[in-house]
Amino acid sequence: MQRTPVNPWDWSLGLGYNQAEIIEGATRQVVCAGQTAVDAEGKPQHLGDMRGQIGLALENLEAILEGAGMGLSHVIKLGIYTTDVDEALKNFDLLGMRLCAVQNTPPMTLVGVERLAIPGLLFEIDATACA
Q: For 48, list phi and psi in degrees, rounded to 5.
A: 75, 5
Task: Centre a 10 Å sphere on the Cβ of residue 124 and count the other Cβ atoms it contains.
Answer: 23
Instruction: Tell me the whole-structure pTM to 2 decimals.
Output: 0.91
In this structure, is residue 12 part of a structural domain?
A: no
In this structure, is residue 21 part of a structural domain?
A: no
DSSP alpha helices (H): ranges in the chain?
50-67, 85-90, 93-101
Are the beta carbons of 21 and 5 closer than 8 angstroms?
A: yes
> Domains in the chain: how many in total?
1
- Average pLDDT rounded to a whole number, residues 13-42: 94
Which tens digits make up the pLDDT trace of 60-79? 999 999 999 999 999 999 99
Q: CATH code at 35?
A: 3.30.1330.40
In this structure, is residue 114 part of a structural domain?
A: yes
The upper half-sphere exposure of residue 65, i.e. CA atoms within 13 Å in the direction of its Cβ, equals 23
In this structure, is residue 55 part of a structural domain?
A: yes
In this structure, is residue 63 part of a structural domain?
A: yes
In this structure, is residue 22 part of a structural domain?
A: no
Name the DSSP class of 38. B
In this structure, is residue 23 part of a structural domain?
A: no
For the chain, what is the mean pLDDT?
A: 96
Which residue range(s) make up the domain with 111?
Answer: 28-130
In this structure, is residue 7 part of a structural domain?
A: no
Name the DSSP class of 125. E
